[in-house]
Amino acid sequence: MDSDSQPFIELTTADRSNTFRIDPNKIESLTKIICAGLGVESFELSWDFVDDADMQSLNRQYRDKNSTTDVLSFPQQEWAEPLEFIAPTWPLTDPTEGDDDGPPELLGDVVISPSVALQNARNIGHGLDREVCFLLVHGILHLCGHDHLEPVEENRMTKEQQAIMGYLEAIDGAPLWTHCARLEV
């Protein structure tokens, strides 16, 4: 993705009550940092933001649940053990630099509903941008073998989420997720 020329992604709810503005440059930057810390920076990952109707349709099709949800992940890799986050060193290097071995392996896809993210953020008491970043982290961890069906898995995933969010908050003196997503008024 050419980060200098990407416009904002705007998504309006079906009832036109909310319009969300997503900064693809910030989302891409967050994705690169998260993937570098998980050791999958050379893998290809896609992310998308969808409205509730599309999220409900995806959730019904792939999880047999006829409701919307905040984030869905579609992994393309299987891991013997869930990957662990290790704070990457700066500056990040381009994992494809000098690499002529063909296309990267696919890590998977993460799909986020900003509308549900907003509900979550309001319920928890923090900003939409932080919640969108958290959902991105959560989705990428699913792509890297994490799950939360069993208490042991949930504890492990929660620790990884906290480590990544803490890193993203402290890396540059201010949270890196600031203004990655916002509600237009």
3-state secondary structure of 19: strand
The rounded distance, in Å, linking the Cα atoms of 176 and 185 is 23
Q: Is the Cβ–Cβ distance between 9 and 22 less than 8 Å?
A: yes
pLDDT, mean of residues 8-12: 87
Mark residue 89 as left, alpha or beta (left: phi above 0; alpha: psi -120 to 50; beta: remaining). Answer: beta
Q: What is the pLDDT confidence band of residue 2, given thresholds at 50, 70 and 90?
A: very low
The rounded distance, in Å, linking the Cα atoms of 134 and 10 is 20
Has residue 137 got a pLDDT over 80?
yes
DSSP conformational letter for 25: H
Mean of pLDDT over the chain? 90
Is pTM beyond 0.85 here?
yes
Tokens 């290809």 belong to which residue? 44
Query: pLDDT for 73-89, tens place per residue?
Result: 999 999 999 999 999 88
Closest CA to 117 of 182, 170, 163: 182
Per-residue tokens: 27: 């989302």
Query: pLDDT for 18-74, tens place per residue?
Result: 899 999 999 999 999 999 999 999 999 999 999 999 999 999 999 999 999 999 999
